[in-house]
Amino acid sequence: MVIVINKNTPQEKISILVKQIEKRNITVHVSNGVAYCVLGLIGNTSNIDSHSFEAYDFVEKVISVKEPFKMVNRLFHPEDSIVNIDGKTIGGEKLAIIAGPCSVENEEQIVSIAKSVKKSGAAFLRGGAFKPRTSPYSFQGLKQEGLDLLLKAKAATGLPIVTEIMSISMLDRFVQDVDMIQVGARNMQNFELLKELGKTNKPILLKRGLSATIQEWLMSAEYIMSEGNENIILCERGIRTFETYTRNTLDLSAVLAAKKLSHLPVVVDPSHAAGMWWMVEALSKAAVAVGADGLIIEVHNDPENALSDGEQSIKPERFDSLVKELKSIASINSKAI
């Protein structure tokens, strides 16, 4: 249930109402926007008569929230959320570009790719250190050494780093050194991991699961937010369908749906969706055209010899021209790079 409060209502009046509701064992999430105040009720509201709130002269209306996701629901927070990451933002009028290799391979590789994507306009560096590979015989990532190398690339460029966590056992290291923690598609429903991430205040890039519905994806975001962490960015990265030509099917309608249903920023990963480098540029443009808040793109300086996902990685020159082309498309949605 959501209670919309009239503009300019004194804070004391709102606090009295909040305390009364809390007496009924219900948590109240207060969202103050520029031109509104919304009280989001979480808990068992089935015994509450919503009309009773209409007796207050400062209550504009009461809305029942039928979706199971509450805190990530746009009804709880009508404005777009903007997430701060080490002084940079994702959401709102910004088109955030995250770029880098699938895996961190060595110092020379990650530092040179970081420098090059930064020059082209990327605001964040991606690079996997712990890799969730389908085969146990494939390259599993440099692990802790990969994190050390990401820090070197950050020191060389100033780019905040984005990398995937696979286990709660690495949480302290990630909280200390990683600017935005990625939850990969395979861990989207690792609820214990989500709850622990929810207890931190680190920005979380939450990828959509391989076969997750939009509602399941938003419920995973709810797991994080219900523990207190509101710094969540959703990432559409393609879903499994009957089609086998592409690695996954990029679901651009999910970007529109997620932005309508929730207030969280949504970025798109065209690389893991397509699985083929030659589709990445066009899919990036399409994602920006539908209003994505950002892109996460795999870029490699030597894709032919990459240790993972070379076939879907674009070269730095192509990335450079892509960012230039994206600027005018982003402006259609009043966004700037």
Picked from ligand PEP, Mn ion, none, the partner binding residue 203 (CB below 5 to 8 A depending on kind) is none
Q: Which is nearer to Mn ion, 236 or 309 (CB)?
A: 309
Binding to Mn ion (CB under 5 A) within 298-327 occurs at 309
Q: Number of residues in contact with ligand PEP, rule: CB under 6 A?
A: 10
Segment interacting with ligand PEP (CB under 6 A) among 17-25, 46-54, 182-190, 284-292: 182-190
Binding to ligand PEP (CB under 6 A) within 107-166 occurs at 128, 132
The token duo for 17 is 């109402």
Query: Nearest to residue 184, comparing CAs of 134, 231, 245?
Result: 134
Residue 29 CB, nearest approach to ligand PEP (Å): 29
88 Cβ partners below 8 Å, 6+ apart? 96, 123, 124, 160
For every residue of 175-244, which 3-state class applies, written as one string?
Answer: HHHCCEEEECHHHCCCHHHHHHHHCCCCCEEEECCCCCCHHHHHHHHHHHHHCCCCCEEEEECCECCCCC
Q: Which is nearer to Mn ion, 105 or 309 (CB)?
A: 309
Does residue 102 touch ligand PEP according to CB under 6 A? yes
Largest CA distance in the chain: 69
Segment interacting with ligand PEP (CB under 6 A) among 33-41, 48-56, 147-155, 183-191: 183-191
Binding to ligand PEP (CB under 6 A) within 205-224 occurs at 207
Half-sphere exposure of 61 (CA within 13 A, CB side): 5
Handedness of CA 277, 278, 282, 283 (dihedral sign): negative
Query: What distance lies between CA 227 and its chain's CA centroid?
Result: 17
The token duo for 330 is 């982003």
Of all residues in the shown chain, the one whose CB is closest to Mn ion is 102
How far apart are the C-alpha atoms of 109 and 298, rounded to whole Å? 13
How far apart are the C-alpha atoms of 6 and 221, rounded to whole Å? 29
Strand 96-100 and strand 88-90: the pairing is unpaired
How far apart are the C-alpha atoms of 46 and 256, rounded to whole Å? 31
Binding to Mn ion (CB under 5 A) within 84-103 occurs at 102
The binder of ligand PEP chosen from 237, 263, 300, 335 (CB under 6 A): 237
Of all residues in the shown chain, the one whose CB is closest to ligand PEP is 184
Residue 102 CB, nearest approach to ligand PEP (Å): 5
Does residue 184 touch ligand PEP according to CB under 6 A? yes
Residue 187 CB, nearest approach to ligand PEP (Å): 8
Residue 103 CB, nearest approach to ligand PEP (Å): 8
Q: Which is nearer to Mn ion, 251 or 309 (CB)?
A: 309
Segment interacting with ligand PEP (CB under 6 A) among 141-149, 180-188, 189-197, 213-221: 180-188
Binding to ligand PEP (CB under 6 A) within 267-306 occurs at 269, 272
Q: Which is nearer to ligand PEP, 73 or 109 (CB)?
A: 109
Residue 326 CB, nearest approach to ligand PEP (Å): 20
Tokens 């629901």, residue located = 73
Picked from Mn ion, ligand PEP, none, the partner binding residue 265 (CB below 5 to 8 A depending on kind) is none
Q: Are 138 and 335 in contact (CB under 8 A)?
A: no
Residue type, 53: F
Site residues, ligand PEP (CB under 6 A):
102, 128, 132, 184-186, 207, 237, 269, 272
Site residues, Mn ion (CB under 5 A):
102, 309
